[in-house]
Amino acid sequence: MANFLRGLAKFFAWLPMRWAYAAGRGAAWIIVHVIRYRRSYVLNVLQRSFPEKTPKELRALYASMLQHQVRNMVELLQFAGGREADLAKRLEFISEEIVKQALELGKGVLILIAHIGNYDLMGLFAARVLGYPVTIITKTISNEGLHEVIWELRQKAGLKAVPPQNAYRACLRALRQKELVGFMLDQNRPTQQGVFVEFFGELASTTPGLALMSAHTGAPVVPVFMLRAADGRHVLEAKPMIEPPPDRKAETLRDYTARYTRVIEEEIRRDPAQWLWLHKRWKSRPLEEGGGEDKEN
């Protein structure tokens, strides 16, 4: 599998850009209209999140979301295959001064990120193209071959990736060295491991780890997202810095986690098709609802 993906990366890097994207659109059409990947699940979640939208609008949003995810993969293959410079020409970084000002505080910076835009490419751009030392917490991908290729690509780009079980100490070391630590906050956590905060009008189990790490280290949180513009450019934008929580009390950590989550929701609402609606974000339920992970199938 890994060798196949490396060969596919070279092929997509060899193709002219417009042909590569045309191939991606063709693959997306099959996924949307033939395979109908997770169609009923995604439409159900979209309907709950955007009750004002018509069924036709929701179906169009489902299709756009999958087209976006396929294009993400095409761009990753191009980057891995050697088209890094061409992709970098399409990058625009807005408000970079916010990140620089946060770094000047000398505590390192916690970067709030989410599965918006081409999130994998964003990390590669930050480390390889922009030259920032970045550490990210990342799970092992279930597909062994894909995991090997993605891990190899991150290492080659200078992106430091650490598994969740070793994450806290590794992130503390990176912050002490005044580096950036990327923290994904839009993933479901088991009931006993998360705090429940509102996300698109429903309670979602969310890790309090970002708030805890910020309170522990004094490192500020800077939300950074990279959305794809209509003309194909990637617009990387830093949002206003969020000061560390004043203490590590459970209520304080929950309040800050809710604040971070609101920032993510606001960004998703700018262009809902660019978020990964395939993820079962609301799967875990509060103990008062019976707990467990039975909301979504």
Residue 292 has what pLDDT?
67
- Asked whether residue 36 is assigned to any structural domain, the reply reads no
Q: Which domain holds residue 266?
A: 87-289
Q: How far apart are the first and last CA of the chain?
A: 29
- Looking at the 3D structure of the chain, how many domains does it have? 1
pLDDT tens digit sequence for 7-49? 999 999 999 999 999 999 999 999 999 999 999 999 999 999 9
- Asked whether residue 9 is assigned to any structural domain, the reply reads no
Q: Cα-flanking dihedrals φ and ψ of residue 123, to 5°?
A: -65, -40
pTM of the model: 0.94
DSSP characters for 5-17?
HHHHHHHHHHS-H
pLDDT tens digit sequence for 44-97? 999 999 999 999 999 999 999 999 999 999 999 999 999 999 999 999 999 999
- Asked whether residue 185 is assigned to any structural domain, the reply reads yes
pLDDT tens digit sequence for 234-245? 999 999 999 999
Average of per-residue pLDDT values in the chain: 93
- Asked whether residue 51 is assigned to any structural domain, the reply reads no
- Asked whether residue 73 is assigned to any structural domain, the reply reads no
- Asked whether residue 38 is assigned to any structural domain, the reply reads no
Residue 296 has what pLDDT?
60
Residues near 102 by beta carbon (within 8 Å), at least 6 away in sequence: 109, 220, 222, 241
pLDDT tier, 144 (very low <50, low <70, confident <90, very high otherwise): confident
The residue whose two tokens read 């395939």 is 278
